[in-house]
Amino acid sequence: MAYLNYKHFTLGVEEEYMVINPETRELTSHEQKIVTEGQKVIKDKVKAEMHQAVVEVGTDICGDIEEAYRDVSTLRNTIAQIAGDLGFWVGASGTHPFSNWQSQLITNHARYNQIVNELQEAARSNLIFGLHVHVGMEDRRMAIHIANSARYFLPHVYALSANSPFWEGRFTGYKSFRTKVFDKFPRTGIPDYFESIEAYDSYVNLLIKTNCIDNAKKIWWDLRVHPFFNTVEFRICDVPMTIDETIAITALFQAICAKLYKLRNQNMNFIMYHRALINENKWRAGRYGIDGTLIDFGKEQEVNTRVLLYELLDFVDDVVDELGSRNAINYIKKMIEQGTGADRQLEVYNQRQNLADVVDYVHSQFLAV
């Protein structure tokens, strides 16, 4: 077989962080001070979000996982330093353990005002924190092929990222409640299969023509071919608690794309499953994290989620060294052993029965190594 070049599988990582009042441990508006100060240091890599208690950061286009690690680490350290200097804390969790969305301010910006006006309480209550991973593609035709095939693995990685067990002071019973909050938005969740990039573009154009959306960025699926960049964007995950977790998940998404690309170049393909079936696994992943079972649709039986994650690592193993991501991928095994962010939040809560202690723990892990 001809040598395959994986250099085009570049990476971009976006994370959303909580801004916390150190005295009350609640979410608080930073009045965009963190963004203003951050832009002096890291330019447009820090941005305001819809809620004023959220700070969004994004890396440069990274050539490999080591570059992504350095960029994410720099971003977290920079934001933590600036927030601290301004009298704030930051933390990474898919939801805040007890803050109420009703008391949080909305950023005054034309785009956010439009979204709130259209979606009303669904938008105002959308006080959640996610991780978005962009993987570069050689062209949009390959992007739609890889997006179609990668849908199957979304619940597996989502289970690993679960980091939002609490909502407005209650244990929700879910390991990841964040996506249940986001489900109130239109055009969310697992996407359909598209037989070609032309079919996808036709879908987008129909929505624009009929005033469902004004641009393709208002398609908020768990996975999408990005409307403006030559990337596949993975959007399903809670923001991970630590840098190492973010990098491991990023490396896993990249490896999935590279493996599917390798199969395509060998005239092979991964089986396409209906959205309805993949949704069954997504629900299980959100409810149980890595402690439950997912359905192996090939075998038509339930399988322990941890077992399926180890099988996924085996599946991508033959592209990992060429991507230069062996160390990051190996960290997935540690995540499986030590539990998800949700598991660790619940462990702190079960020991102390105090959600403020959970916030303290989340804050303490933001730069943990």
Locus of tokens 């934001």: 79
Give exposure, 17-34, as e/b (b: 16+ Cβ within 10 Å). Answer: bbbbbeeebbbbbbebbb
Give exposure, 36-64, as e/b (b: 16+ Cβ within 10 Å). Answer: ebbeeebeebbbbbbbbbbbbbbbeebeb
pLDDT in tens, 56-86: 999 999 999 999 999 999 999 999 999 999 9
Q: Which of 99-103, 132-136, 144-148, 349-353 has the lowest mean pLDDT?
A: 99-103
Locus of tokens 């992007």: 143
Domain ranges for the chain, please list them.
11-364
- pLDDT at 276 > cutoff 50: yes
Cβ neighbourhood burial of 289 (10 Å; 0-12, 13-18, 19+): buried
Confidence of residue 110 (pLDDT cuts 50, 70, 90): confident
Query: Which CATH number is 11-364 given?
Result: 3.30.590.20
The pTM score is: 0.97
Confidence of residue 229 (pLDDT cuts 50, 70, 90): confident
Pairing of strands 188-189, 220-221: parallel
Mean pLDDT of 32-61: 95
